[in-house]
Every structure is written in structure tokens, then in C-alpha cells.
Chain A
Amino acid sequence: MSFCQARWARGGCLEPSIFELSRPGRRGAGFPKKLIARIKIPEKLLRGSLRLPELSEPEVVRHYTRLSQMNYGVDMVFYPIGSCTMKYNPKICEELAALDEAVFLHPDQDESTVQGALELMYRLERCLSEIGGVSKTCLHPSAGAHGELLGMLLVRAYHSSKGENRFEVVVPDSAHGTNFASAAMAGFRVVVVPSNDRGRVDLEALRSAVSGRTAALALTNPNTLGLFEDEISEIAKTVHEAGGLLYYDGANMNGILGKVRPGDMGFDIVHFNLHKTFSTPHGGGGPGAGPVGVVQKLERFLPVPTVEYDGRRNSYYLDYDRPESIGKIRSFYGSFGVLVKAYTYILIMGAEGLGEATEAAVLNANYVMRKVREVPGFEVKFDGPCKHEVVFSAEPLKRETGVTARDVAKRLLDYGIHAPTYYFPPIVPEALMVEPTETEPKEELDRFIAAMKEISEDARSVPEKLWSAPSATAIGRLDETKASRSPILSWRMYENRARR
């Protein structure tokens, strides 16, 4: 297998930043002088210098095209990064989201002029409520963790309305880090319950953890190990009997979509990641969308406004008259472009199609699990079939050869495959979390499996090759500690550092 990433360099340096390419006076587009003369901008709003780079249009296009060629994306390579559901995003969704009717709306427009947009949000809300098995859904949150925070705020509002002081949120040790953080941000104490030897919530520990202090249990199902929590009914009963609510983290909904509904499992609050499960692009820093659905008894606490339909007038409207609402979670109504893409996706797939996608996602993950666990050096800690993702442990490989999960992840880049999530979840040593998604053909999965085999062989014969990987990429292995300890996130930060 051979792969070589593009490496654009000039004068011994990688593609310079757009600021370094800037030349005074150069420009891509201009406005007619007469037009500029007619526009009167108040003096106080004018700035002397914008410090923007000055380039021609082709220079800009070439610059970003080059950068994109030195990167990985779902449109270019297999991207099995676990828990992120990096599935292919159909281009029709992009086309519809780019329509003038979607792009040129202003959120302050009168309701009568945006009936189409309101109808789309209303219908999407109905679809998501049906898919999640809940009675009403709020589309506002801009990201997954934002949705989690909303979920926790709803938990708080519910218990407060009953005059109960419940301040603990129970979270399994396999959960995403954001679950702990969201609960703490909403003012809750976090109680962590361990997983049992089957990789599922330990019921005995859960029973000891819940009490009159329990506000909620935050759970992902399938869980972070890609395993279905098969004792979910008992889990729900335990939490409900203690007076707590069940919060569903939608990170792994791609393993159950169209097959089972979280609401039917006993969840009271159901969170979705439209940018994962409903196929809108993500990974580039947003925007995302993390809608949150609730069962009937929690409806009255949802943020304002909700989109409602008035049958008598046959029109849609924004309802702010909700006295028990927790208020606003963000400006306006949600990441509208993402909502358009998700609604398009649901329509092109249909109920049946969504279920088929889940079947393919689960089949792909199990195929990869069966093949890779046979490769020396990799094992799966928990028995049985997985759902949409599988967590391998490279512990045997590390023990036998000194090659770590990180080395494996970096080496996969040399095969033109994006690295899986590694060292997460922390309950699996040397974890490699692989989520193929439903959009990968068997040939691509086989290519991944063959790469894992070759890496396992190389670990024994030429481990140095793996310790120094990647080598076929534009940039070699980075100092991850330095990157997280002293990141440089903008040109201005870079200039300030250089000055010091």
C-alpha cells in the first residue's frame, strides 16, 4: 500500500500562512468608487487599519486548496475516528443549505416572511421527537456539549419546580469527558459509577450511588465502548425509583437510529448530534447542532422560543409565551444551515433508510472487529458483538514490541487513513477506538484491516518505523504536549510570541 500526501513548500518552508503571502495593495475584488462614495459610514465606526492580508483571488484559492491537500477529510480518505461518526455528507444537503432562501434570511425578519424556514424547523422538530421517542425537541443548542448543558439545566429546572434539592448527577466511568463537565457547569456534583466486567454500567454500584440527592443519570447508549447497555430497563427503573431523571447523550445514536428509541428505553431527556448522526459536516470547529428532546412532563421548561403551528391560520409562529421556560440557551433559533442539512438527510433517507444505515454501520464495525482482533497485538477487552464502533486495546502490541496505540494511530496516516481516537475511553489501556460508519464500502474496510496487519508485522521487524511515523504526510509527528500546553491559535498570537 502506498500513499503520499501532497507537500506544498516554498523555499524550504511549508505553505506560508496567508499573512506571509500578503503584498501591499494587492486585492481580489473591489467595489465601484461611485458606490463607495455614496455609502456613509459614521466616523466612529471607521478603523484606520484592518490588518487583513492583501492578495488576489487566485492566490487565495490556491493557498486554501493547497492547505486542503495537506489535510485529511471524509471527502478524501477513510476517517474512522471513534465516537465522532465521520460519515460521508451527501452533497444534496449542502446544495439545499446553500439556497438563497436559506442563506439570505435574517433572524429578525417578520414571521410572515419566513414561513418556509419556520415550517422546516417545525417539521424537523417533529421528526427528531419521533426518532428519539420524546414529545418535544428544542433545536437551539449549537454543539453537542451545548446540548448537554441544556439537558442539565432542564434537570435542574424540573427538580426545582418540585421543590426538591437534588444535586448529584451520576455518570458511568466510560462516559465522554463532556458529561462530567456539563453536569458540573450546571452546578451539579458528579458521582462516577464503574463499569462491570462486561463493559456495561455496574448495577450494584448504580444502586448504591442513587439516593434522594440524585438529580439524573447521564448515559450514552450504545456506550463509549460501542456496547449496548442491555440492562437499560433495570437502570431506568433504578434511577426513576430514586426520583431522578435519565439523560441520553446522543453521541452514539448512529448505532441505534431507526431501530430503538431512547424515549422507549426510559430516557426523559434525549440529546442529538445532528453533525454526527444526521450527516452534516463537522470536525472543522463548527457550527454543529445539538438538539434536545424531552418527555411531556419536561416540555414546559424548554428554552424560548419554540416553533408552533397555528392550524386555524395555517401558519407557523414563534412562541415566547412559556412562563416556566428556562429562558434562552443561545441567540435566535439554532444553527439554521445545519438544521436544513439534517432535515434534507432525514427526507432523502426516509424512516426505512435511517434504519438501514444503522444496520450497515453496525455490520461494518463488527466486520472490522472480527478481522482486527485476529491480528497479533490487538485485542477486544469485552466479548460479544458491538454496535457502531469498536474499541481495540493495543496493550499486547505494546508489551511485545514497545509500539503503542499512539504509534499505530500515527502510522495509519501513512496509509492515507485518518487516525482512530486513541487513549479513549481511559478504562481500556492502549485504546484505539474505531468507528467505520455506514458509508464505507467493504474494500475500504479491507484496506484498513490490511494496514493494521502490516503495522503489527512492522512492529516486530522495524519498530523504529512506527516510532517515527508518520512519514508520508506533509508534517511529521508533532509535539502534542507542547501543542496543548502552549498553543498558537492565531497570527496575532504568533506575532506576539515572536516579539517576546
Chain B
Amino acid sequence: MKKLGLIVNPIAGMGGRVGLKGTNGDEIFRKAIKLGAKPAAPARAIAMLKNLGSVRNSIQLITCSHEMGEQEARECGFEPVVISSIISGKTTAADTKEAANKMRKLEVDLILFVGGDGTAKDIYDVVRADVPILGAPAGVKVYSATFANTPESAGQVAARFLSEGLPVQEAEVMDIDEDAFRENRLVAELKGYARVPYEPVMMQATKEGSVGFELADQKAIARWTIELMERDRVYILGPGTTTRAVAEELGIYDSTLLGVNLVYDFKLIARDVSERQILEVIENRPATIIVSPIGKQGFIFGRGNQQISPRVVRRVGKKNILVLATPRKLSLTSTLKVDTGDAELDDELRGYIPVVVGYLQTHMVKVI
């Protein structure tokens, strides 16, 4: 019998409704309650569970007590196994982590969760690549690619994963600094890659037929990118699995996945570099920036790759930016976004740009 873990972050999304841009931390949570925030996650959890369909009869549901899963599960007619006890009305990130850890030890087949980026990060911190996870969006910030489009589709994807055994793919887990966010600065860090069920239709826009096989597409893009590469030029490889495929196609297996790598004459010359290090290396050399949209919302600059700063982008020049994206990634978002922190530069980067989507193939995509 398959085991399904369920973690509901009952306070996810509460801060957003009252303009607090997040609900991380006790103080903010109390502030949200004071401003009249109502929990939104439980209803979303119920919508998700109702979409499990017939698979519900052949799985064991494992969850936390009270509003962190048990209540929602019982309301949907489940008899869940309750593995951890919380203090109702006072849930914390530690509760999420503890539950995730117990589920990992119980070797659940999938952890379904309801929350936002904070919840995704808390679970990922504990389970890493051991357990596939899948989120129903309920948070203020949903930049991570670990979420289905809606709670309903999360339930349907989970059902298919448990009954038919869908393949899994790597998806970005993003962490947003909420304090900075409240000051209207968005500092998004790429925390890692969780394993999520691969379901091209419900996890993304409904463009059936345009979604290929992620790994094969990445390889095709990497092959073509390498054919475009020249000697005596620095290639600034942004983070992500698509740019990693380029490095691997070059025979580089020790690049950093979450940071920025520098390639020169087809060799890795520096890994996990800072803005200052990039500027030093490209001081007297021509350079090209190779980036891939990070997260669910299609940012090519300003999310998870802040090392490639406005100064770096200006120094390299717009015409030397090469954007790579698999058709699946592009189907997540019809446009790309930039947020370098330099409004003037962002304006210059806007408009249609070519994006390499396969071998010999480029798509014109709008940057907004």
C-alpha cells in the first residue's frame, strides 16, 4: 500500500490578504491575525484531497494533528495515521520540519503539502531528494517550481503519481527574504532542487503537445549552446539545471548548481563566484551571460542569480545575453521577467528576446 504524507501549513497566505507580504515568523503572524486575516490553507487542502479520486481507497494517509492535516483529512472522509501533535492555533516552521522528518523516516511515497515558498523550503530542508514532494499553492509567495497550478490539480497529479507512477523531475525551491520583501526589495535565493512528480499538463499551462521530455530537451539545448560558444570568451553560466546541462555537455561535472560558474575556452575557470569575482574576470575579456528562467514565474534576472548584477549585465551588454529554456519551462509562463534592481536596466532588457529552446531552435519570448 502506497503511503501519502500530508502537511498543511494552516497559516500560509494569511499575511498576503492583509498586505503583509508573507506570514513567516511569530510576530508577523500575530500582526496578521490582528489585521483580521482568516486561514485560507485548510479549504485549499480539502479541495486538493477531494481530487485524489479513486486512489484514496488504496493509500495510507499520514499526517499531523489538528489543522495541520488531520482535520482536513477527516472532513474528506479519511482515517489518517497521525504522526505528530501540534498546539492548535500555534503552528510553527519547526512543526512542518518535524512532520516532514517523520514522513521521511516512514518512507512515504509522496509528501503533499499546502503552503507557500516558506513551507516548500522547510520541507525540502529536511527531505532533500529522498522523498518527492508536491505543493498546492496557498502562500503569499509561490516562486518555487514545486507547486501545481491549483489545489485541484495538485490532488489529480498526486493521484496519478500514486496509481500510475509518473516520472519525477527536479524543481527549484526558492527562498524569499520576507523582511527585504516588505521593504519592496525582493531577494530570492535558489535553495535547491526538490523532486516533484512530472505531469506536463496539470503542473503547467495546458499546452498539450508542446511539452517534451525535460532531460532530452536540456541536452538538445546544451548541444546547440556549445556549438554557439567561441574561444577567448568568458561564459557566465547562471544557476539551474538547464545551464548545468551545458556544463555537463562540456564535460564539466563539478560546477555549482545553485550559484554562478565561469567557463573560458570550454573549461571551468571558477565556480560559485560573486559579483566582484565576475567583474574581475571579465574586466578585459569579451563575455556572454547564459541564463535560464528560475522558478515558476519566469525570472531571468533578479531571482536566485543576483551575482549577475546590473553592473555585470551592463558590462556584458544586452546582445551578449543567451537565454535558455526548455519548452516545459516556457509553458509555465508566457512571458519572462527581469528584476535586476536597476529600473533603467530592466527597461532596456524588456521586449521580445530570442530564447534557445532546442537544437537549432529559438523562440521569441516577451520580457516584461
Any A CB within 8 A of the CB of B19? no
Any A CB within 8 A of the CB of B209? yes
Any B CB within 8 A of the CB of A299? no
Contact B206 A429 (CB under 8 A): yes
Contact B360 A205 (CB under 8 A): no
* Residues of the A chain whose Cβ atoms lie less than 8 Å from the Cβ of B210: 426-427
Contact A209 B206 (CB under 8 A): no
Contact B208 A192 (CB under 8 A): no
Contact B209 A191 (CB under 8 A): no
Any A CB within 8 A of the CB of B56? no
Given contacts A208-B352, A209-B354, A424-B209, contact A184 B360 (CB under 8 A): yes
Could you mark each residue 328-358 of chain B with 1 if its beta carbon is under 8 Å from any beta carbon of chain A, else 0?
0000000000000000000000011110010
A209 to B357, CA, bound (A): 15
Given contacts A208-B351, A208-B352, A209-B354, contact A192 B362 (CB under 8 A): yes
Could you mark each residue 190-206 of chain A with 1 if its beta carbon is under 8 Å from any beta carbon of chain B, else 0?
11111000000000111
The size bracket of the interface on A is 20 to 34
Residue among B351, B362, B364, B365 having the largest count of chain A Cβ atoms under 10 Å? B364
Any B CB within 8 A of the CB of A359? no
Contact A189 B352 (CB under 8 A): no
Contact B362 A429 (CB under 8 A): no
User: CB-nearest residue of chain B relative to A207?
Assistant: B352
Any A CB within 8 A of the CB of B207? yes
* Residues of the A chain whose Cβ atoms lie less than 8 Å from the Cβ of B352: 204-205, 207-209
Any B CB within 8 A of the CB of A423? yes
A180 to B360, CA, bound (A): 10
Any B CB within 8 A of the CB of A430? yes
Contact A208 B353 (CB under 8 A): yes
A475 to B89, CA, bound (A): 60
User: CB-nearest residue of chain A relative to B334?
Assistant: A194
User: CB-nearest residue of chain A relative to B356?
Assistant: A189
Partner of A191, one of B207, B208, B364: B364
A6 to B87, CA, bound (A): 70
Any A CB within 8 A of the CB of B85? no
A204 to B362, CA, bound (A): 16
Within the complex, the shortest CB–CB distance from B221 to chain A, in Å, comes to 13
Could you mark each residue 150-176 of chain A with 1 if its beta carbon is under 8 Å from any beta carbon of chain B, else 0?
000000000000000000100001000
Any A CB within 8 A of the CB of B366? yes
Contact B360 A194 (CB under 8 A): no
Q: Which of A2-59 contact B (CB under 8 A)?
A: none
Contact A205 B362 (CB under 8 A): no
A308 to B361, CA, bound (A): 40
Could you mark each residue 179-219 of chain B with 1 if its beta carbon is under 8 Å from any beta carbon of chain A, else 0?
00000000000000000000000000011111000000000
Any B CB within 8 A of the CB of A395? yes
A429 to B354, CA, bound (A): 24
Residue among B207, B353, B362 having the largest count of chain A Cβ atoms under 10 Å? B362
Given contacts A426-B207, A429-B206, contact A180 B365 (CB under 8 A): no
Provide a sorted-by-A list of 6 A–B residue pairs whose CB atoms are within 8 angstroms.
A173-B363, A194-B364, A205-B364, A206-B364, A427-B210, A429-B207
